[in-house]
Structure 1
Amino acid sequence: MSVPYLGFGMGLRTCYFEQIISERPAIDWFEIISENYFVSGGKPWYYLSQIKEQYPIVMHGVSMSIGSTDDINTDYLKQLKRTIARVNPAWVSDHLCFSALGDFNSHDLLPMPYTEEALNHLTQRISQVQDYLERPMIFENVSSYLTYKQSHMTEWEFLAQLHKQTGCQFLLDINNVYVSARNHSFSAMDYLNAIPKESIAQIHLAGHQDFDSHIIDTHDEPVCDAVWSLFSEFSQQVSAVSTMIERDDNFPPLAELLAELEHAKALTRTHWG
């Protein structure tokens, strides 16, 4: 699987709809939250139908729960497949995690245990989902606040093995790597250095809340200097990867996000062009 290089993008959020349509800012592409477009009409579709005429669109889901031990939710996949057909995205992604078990839904993205059993489980699930959707999926690393006693490999070893077994590619969220590294006291660069470079299809850059003893991935702050530094160093190891700024709350004027996007471009200009 290979995905096109789209350049530097941004998460499409409702508060910027009208400004994007009227001003057509210098953004290469937008990422939408898949589930927001499972409805047949309404405000999101009214604006998206106009925006997707001017910009490439990718889809990013939050509810697949690919790691769950429950049967895959076929109703969810039907809605996703219908939305994919309507949007015609450059690619589709979700999170490498689980969020539901039986009747319990955490409404959060819970990390997988890093075991051979989990690897084999994900390999089967990814194949099942991709066969149903009739297209490959990209999966994002999540931030984490706990670890499992059963885990016998690191997260980066787990991802490398998953890529080897399935060929799937990853949406590398560098902020999530930083958050998990701080919370679990490992080296973020050790993680990034170990990820198979050919497996990276997209990059997320985002902000978080730092409470000294731990960090919470909130997407409501600017990208911090430490994450910029990680991105700058990692970008020198890979060919150009579609990269975006992700903001989900405490929305600033669009100009501030555009400035972050320009900073990302500046950090990669000498080696990505």
Structure 2
Amino acid sequence: MSEASVERRLWSLFEPVHAVIYFAPEGAAPFEAAGLRGFWRRYFAGRSAPLGAVGPGPVVASFFGFAPGTATRALPDIWTRITPAAALEARQAGANAALARLLDGVPVDEAADLLEAAARAVDLPGRVLGAANADLPWPAEPLDRLWHAATILREHRGDGHVAALLTAGVDGCESIVWRCGQDGSRASMQPARGWTDEEWDAAADRLRARGWLGADGSATILGEEAYAEVEALTNRLAGRPWRTLGADVTERCATLLEPIAARIWPLLPADNPIPLTQGQVAR
């Protein structure tokens, strides 16, 4: 495992563990049983529940890449349909059921132990979503611990990515347009994040003015270099858990997560809005 890619490699292995709550059918069932229907209601309820019954403001700030109107439509309405405590119970139940099916026969105890050790080592100042999840009680069952640790680590990394984007002087819409300029995923990303055509085009114009996008909306060499700097800073900001574990234990953790992630990958759509696809570990 190279020092430059260790953080992203680990992310590519634990992110699928977290993502079962969005893409596995078992992830929806507990929310529906609790009276909350619709993918985006479940998404905003489950992901923001560690913050409590917040309005759209903290979610716009911490989710970053979503259009404010998307958050405003979901919040605070979802809290009239489900409580944060019930949403936390629903997401844990959904994740457990999905992982129990997908990982049937795959040993998870040691992976859960090591990923928990990494998650307990995250640095919390400035990491709103990471800290909110880290503040929740640790579950006892290995599958639940595996998912909880993956969730802390992915939100911790996401908080750092937001900091890296802000350091680059990029706003929420620009961050999505810029990324899509490199992988051509506008067709899936724009509706998933809720930006209008007018907002998208205005953000693209601002990125063109910086020399980061070409006339066709694709990233320029300068834009790709600047994005690589953002990714490098994101990786550095995500590094403390793996430095704490040390190179050998981190490698062991990655080795244990590889068969786990391999079981989950087929569940993730190729055009998922994370976006992450199997083998995508570069940078």
Q: Is TM more than 0.5 here?
A: no
State the TM-score, normalized to the length of structure 1.
0.30
State the TM-score, normalized to the length of structure 2.
0.29
Greater strand content:
1
Greater helix content:
2
- Structure with higher RCO (Cα < 8 A, 6+ apart): 2
